[in-house]
Amino acid sequence: MDLDELSQSGIRRMVSYSPYLDQLAGLPNDMGLRQRSNLVHLERCLNDHWALGQNSILSWAPLEDGILILVVPHYAIAEYTAAPTDDPRLPPRVSAHFITELISGDRQLTIAQIHKVAKLLDIEPVFITLRQPLTGHPVETQIIEKMIRRYGINYVASRAVTLFDIVGFSLLTPFEQMTQLNSLSYSLNSAHAKMLEQDVGINFARSSSGDGFYIWNRDHGLEANVNLYHFMHIVLADNAIARSKAVSRAVPRLRACFHVGSCYEFHQAEGLNPTIHDFIVGEVTIELARMIEAAMPGQILVGEFVAQLPGQENGEEEAQLDLDAVTFLQRAQGNLAKLSGLELSGEKVTAIKCYLTGERLENGEFSIRRLQITDKHGLSRTAYNAKVNIYRELAEPILLGIEDKKLGPSQQRA
């Protein structure tokens, strides 16, 4: 049967195999149903080459009536940057920097680049024949990029991540653990809804840490990272309000950390397909896990970082920004006007103040104290103690974090 003769409902059933249905709906009408089915066919072909997770797809390039892809065994990415086992004195086949560049950012290459990379990796490009040539439409390209990333590993040089940790989680009964994780999950969803009401976009993802969740913004850039920091505040505020009303142990007591660093993103296999949701692991999650061990109940810690971020202001790209944690927090404070009008527990928020704590100076101002945190492995890192004050019209302010004078002995003053 010709595709043009299929009903709209039939097409909807067909594209439901693809996790990119919402983006398929964004394709222009003049592309027709054939082009939409073309992308569904490509998704199935990529799934076949992925082979239940046996392989990883690195790059792609359009070619005539199909595309070229680079496919390697999942373990090969690490082996490419290792010295040969028969002679460790010899250099690796390619540098770690080369592999990192290959799995960062956009995955589309030119035909010449595809063949050059294939030669360096000693593999043959794989050609996938499509039902009709690609159009090159930006939405179509975006969908293919997301498909390729879903079947591969992605490196992000600068990703903001926050970690929410439930205090005393291991001492709870299984039922209490379930209810507290569910309560934290609700606070995440509630904070997301509140930010969307204020037209503050955050495309947040989550991954379980066992005792809580790692949360990150799938969007990139300075504004995306600042929005994630404010998202953390709203989650903690929602949790604080719920705790004030709770008469049981259903609502957790939290501590939280925020950091910016590099990570790898991937999709785990679930049944016969990779999951729709991505997972992260890397320098940023390792640092968060080590910081949270030293965090006190109710505390908010911000790691010391220097992040290279592509800025964006008034719709125009800025030059790349090198921001340390202190400068980042100054940007975050100046960005709080977007949350004006936010309501918490039925009360309108009038002001939010976020800052890093320190000691009071003779002129009445406050310094910013650097904390030296040593973990159980004897490794040290620098962090900052953060506080957030949320003021409401007719209710008591919500004070998040702990005061500088109450810092514990494990957090030495640097």
The pair of structure tokens assigned to 251 is: 């609502």
Q: Where are the domains of the chain?
A: 3-152, 156-413
35: pLDDT strictly greater than 70: yes
The band of 213, judged by pLDDT with boundaries at 50, 70 and 90, is very high
Q: For 282-336, what is each residue's pLDDT tens digit? A: 999 999 999 999 899 999 999 999 877 665 444 444 556 678 889 888 888 877 7
pTM: 0.84
87: pLDDT strictly greater than 70: no
Give the least confident one: 144-153, 317-326, 352-361: 317-326
The pair of structure tokens assigned to 298 is: 């109710």
204: pLDDT strictly greater than 70: yes
Q: For 377-401, what is each residue's pLDDT tens digit? A: 888 889 999 999 988 887 888 999 9
The band of 8, judged by pLDDT with boundaries at 50, 70 and 90, is very low
Q: For the domain bounded by 156-413, which CATH number is listed?
A: 3.30.70.1230
Among 338, 355, 354, 341, smallest CA distance to 393 is for 341
| pLDDT value for 279 | 85
Those residues with Cβ within 8 angstroms of residue 272's Cβ, 6 or more apart along the chain or in another chain: 52
The rounded radius of gyration (Å) of the Cα atoms in the chain is 24
CA atoms within 13 A on the CB side of 78: 3
Enclosing H/E stretch for 217: strand 212-217
Among 272, 277, 276, 280, smallest CA distance to 50 is for 272
| pLDDT value for 1 | 40
